[in-house]
Amino acid sequence: MPRNENPIEKTESLGHLVKVQRVIDFMVLSDLINGQRYHSEMEQFITQTLGNGVGVNDAYFSKRLQVLYENGHVTRHWDGDNRYNRFYRITDAGIEYFKLMLRELPGRVSLAKQVYDRFDAYLDKFGHVHLK
């Protein structure tokens, strides 16, 4: 039989279901809707919201805040001379980006849950396999 005689159509890529960067961006902007926040406050908010001690790598989180700033979604300023006390605020462009994600993410998260539930069921099959 020839290869790929009956290929299954792929409409999504696993890596694009829900990107970590979109989760972080959404959480940062949702927190900033309530007012300005320190970097560390937002990081703690994410860890508390996700639960189970799941948080964001500090370097990656700083990079995401930098990208949000460069894209005009947030403003930032220092609190006095302390370089570690950086405040962030959401911009009008950030509110629009947040609204876009609010429309897109629920469907993507739902699809990701379905995929991971199927993968979880697949993993169960290997709980009964004895490897040498």
Q: Where are the domains of the chain?
A: 19-125
- Mean pLDDT confidence for 57-64: 92
pLDDT attached to residue 129: 63
Task: Note the helical H segments in 33-91.
Answer: 39-50, 58-70
pLDDT attached to residue 98: 97
- For the stretch 73-125, pLDDT in tens is 999 988 766 666 789 999 999 999 999 999 999 999 999 999 999 999 998 88
d(CA 17, CA 19): 6
| Portion of the chain with pLDDT greater than 90, in percent | 61
d(CA 130, CA 132): 7
**pLDDT reading at 131 higher than 80:** no
Fold of 19-125: Arc Repressor Mutant, subunit A (1.10.10)
Report the range of poorest mean pLDDT among 8-12, 52-56, 75-79, 94-98. Answer: 8-12
pLDDT attached to residue 130: 67
d(CA 9, CA 6): 9
- Mean pLDDT confidence for 20-39: 94
Confidence bin at 48 (pLDDT 50/70/90) = very high
Read off φ and ψ for residue 86, nearest 5 degrees. Answer: -100, 125
The answer to whether the CB of 62 falls within 8 A of the CB of 21 is no
- From the list 64, 70, 66, 55, the residue with the least C-alpha distance to 25 is 64
- Beta-bridge partners for 88: 37, 76
- Specify the higher pLDDT residue, 16 or 94: 94
